[in-house]
Chain A
Amino acid sequence: MTLKANLKYNICWLILMVAGFYLMNTLILAGVIDSFLENMVVTIGINIMLAVGLNLIIGFAGQFSLGHAGFMAVGAYATAIIISKTPTAGALYLSIIVGVIIAIIAALIVGIPTLRLRGDYLAIATMGAAEIIRIIINNMKITNGPSGMFNIPQFATWPVVYIMVCVTTIIIVNFIHSRGGRAALAVREDEIAAESMGINIFKWKLAAFVLGAATAAVAGSMQASYLQTIAPNNFNIMESIAILIIVVLGGVGSITGSFVAAIILGVVDTALQNFGALRMVIYAVVLILIMIFKPSGIMGSTELSFKRLFNRKNKKVGAKS
């Protein structure tokens, strides 16, 4: 594969990202997307960040984590505390970095003992770890305890969230398609075989876990600054499960799937707001139907790939001539 061919695919992705930005911008200027719909779009963006990060841990490294909301809380509170004290846009970016660093440290503390566990045990241990994070936040003064924080300055507007979605996705996708990502895939497929091929399975499990946690912290920062209010209860086990649902629905092991599922669920959720109590029932039925008819998720494990699109086009052209 030449550098030139890679450049072509990378430019395609760049065009897609810029086009998405301009489409969104135009729709807002034209008044098609009002503040209600903008809220939906931003929520979808935040959910994409969370789902892509969790998909790295569950779908690619094969580690069943149920503690994603805990790392999200770390980012959210880092941002809330910092930008409440110094309300500037620069402080937002600083707070994202602080949140990411704390989340990485937390992920190392949680991951080093728990990633030696497997399957269900790991799920329970990570769930417990996330609860510990939440309870610590619940009992601290600086976080304003169980009542949470409000009037957080809104610096995370939709363009900021959009760029963060792009950045975190690029980082994770590039990690997956590198040496480390391949090692993580090997761990998912067969730990004993991976170890016998000289792969330090623990190191790569931890790398995937930490990277996923870091992106969750970014998502948390965005949520805190966009919604302007946060409380410890926003980050309980139900939030972790909500993220897990997006991953499973989209397809475990498909980043494209996480995007698609986050968008579909975001739209369904918004469309059902008028149904009141029926909303959760319909939401659940949608989930059950998809799981019955497409148990591997909407996308299975396939990805949107410009390389494949081009190859298909070339084949067709070749067949005609």
Chain B
Amino acid sequence: MTTLLNVENLVKNFGGLTAVSDVNMHLNDDELVALIGPNGAGKTTLFNLLTGVIVPSTGSITFRGTDGVIPLNGMKTYKIANLGMGRTFQNIRLFKELSVLDNVLIAMTAHYKENFIQSIFRSPKFYKTEAQIREEAIELLKIFDLQDDLDKQAKNLPYGIQRRLEIVRSLATKPKILFLDEPAAGMNPEETADLTRLIRQVQRDFHITVLLIEHDMSLVMNLASRIYVLDHGSLLAEGTPTEIQQNDAVIKAYLGEEE
């Protein structure tokens, strides 16, 4: 197993507030890792640092791409995404007014070239490429049982389906690492069970690394092979689900100290 993403001494200060302090972590090929922690622990900030939405104050993030190890510090978000980092958002950020199909097609933008002249004058090649990526998108939507909703506006889908579409959309970017930010938030136990199955299937079938933020412990303990615990911006513990469940520091952070 090789390291895909490596984070060393990562720090992020917002003015006087240290949101993420001195975090070291790594993600290996083809594994499912969870990131847990109480509210305000800095989980989403860490996600935003890893995907380039915000720039770290100090520390380094490196990604092992096809041509060697690449430092990600200060790299533009879209470039990081194109290296193979897909993500979903805590508060769903679909392209609401657009159709389900368009949401997926947009995510594929970086993966095919289209000549401006060809698209303006509608050359046969343009129609061929369009038909090709359309088919590819529909294939992907079929896996997630969304093939009947192609023309529906994303905002009109039920909440659970929107979360699912967000996962499809991020998969359409052909990621090597998928960051899922609280995918089960607001779901009932049935939907959560469904989602658990889905995430496992995605990770297995697409052979990608998944880093998951989640508050639902049943989902985390079921899925993750490793868990990072974040509290007040710094790493509290790292280990397998069983190790984490027995870790005193973690129990203290979640439940408070025993008298």
Contacts and interface: CB of A to CB of B under 8 A. Distances in A.
Contacts of B53: 192, 195-196
B114 A3 contact: no
A194 B51 CA distance: 13
A1 interface: yes
A3 B127 contact: yes
Interface string B53-86: 1000000000000000000000011100110001
B122 A174 contact: yes
B95 A193 contact: yes
Interface stretch (A179-187, A243-251, A255-263): A179-187
Given A186-B95, A192-B53, A197 B107 contact: yes
Contacts of A1: 127, 130-131, 134
Contact of B119 (A180, A196, A201): A180
A175 B120 contact: yes
A200 B78 contact: yes
Contacts of A6: 122, 127
A148 B172 CA distance: 55
A55 B86 CA distance: 31
A201 B109 contact: no
A1 B130 CA distance: 9
A195 B77 contact: yes
Contacts of A228: none
A185 B102 contact: yes
A186 B106 contact: yes
B93 A10 contact: no
Contact of A201 (B78, B110, B124, B172): B78
B126 interface: yes
A199 B134 contact: no
Nearest to B93: A193
Nearest to A195: B77
A204 B106 CA distance: 12
A35 interface: no
Contact of A189 (B95, B120, B126): B95
B28 to A, nearest CB: 23
Contacts, number: 102
Q: Is the interface of B mostly helix, strand, loop or mixed?
A: helix
Interface residues of B, number: 39
Contacts of B169: 197
Contacts of A3: 124, 127
B14 interface: no
Contact of A185 (B82, B89, B95, B172): B95
A288 interface: no
A183 B110 CA distance: 10
B21 interface: no
Given A178-B119, A193-B95, A199 B110 contact: yes
A16 B139 CA distance: 36
B170 interface: yes
Central interface residue in A3, A194, A201, by most chain B CB within 10 Å: A194
Interface in B82-141: 82, 86-87, 89, 93-98, 102, 105-107, 109-110, 112, 114, 116, 119-122, 124, 126-127, 130-131, 134
B234 interface: no
B209 interface: no
Contacts of A196: 51, 53, 77-78, 81, 86-87, 89, 170
A183 B102 CA distance: 10
Nearest to B96: A189
Interface string A277-292: 0000000000000000
A199 B78 contact: yes
Given A1-B134, A193-B89, A198-B110, A180 B78 contact: no
Contact of B122 (A10, A180, A189, A193): A10
Given A180-B116, A301-B97, A194 B106 contact: yes
A27 interface: no
Contact of A179 (B93, B112, B127): B112
Nearest to A203: B78
Contacts of A174: 119-122
Contacts of B95: 185-186, 189-190, 193-194
Nearest to B169: A197
A221 to B, nearest CB: 19
A111 B127 CA distance: 31
Interface of A: 1-3, 6, 10, 170-171, 174-175, 178-180, 182-183, 185-186, 189-190, 192-201, 301
Closest 9 pairs between A and B when the two form their complex, measured CB to CB: A178-B119, A198-B81, A189-B95, A198-B110, A193-B93, A195-B77, A198-B82, A179-B114, A197-B107
11 contacts: A1-B134, A174-B119, A175-B119, A186-B95, A195-B81, A196-B78, A197-B78, A197-B81, A197-B170, A198-B78, A200-B78
Given A10-B122, A198-B81, A200-B76, 7 more contacts: A3-B127, A192-B53, A195-B78, A195-B81, A196-B81, A196-B86, A197-B173
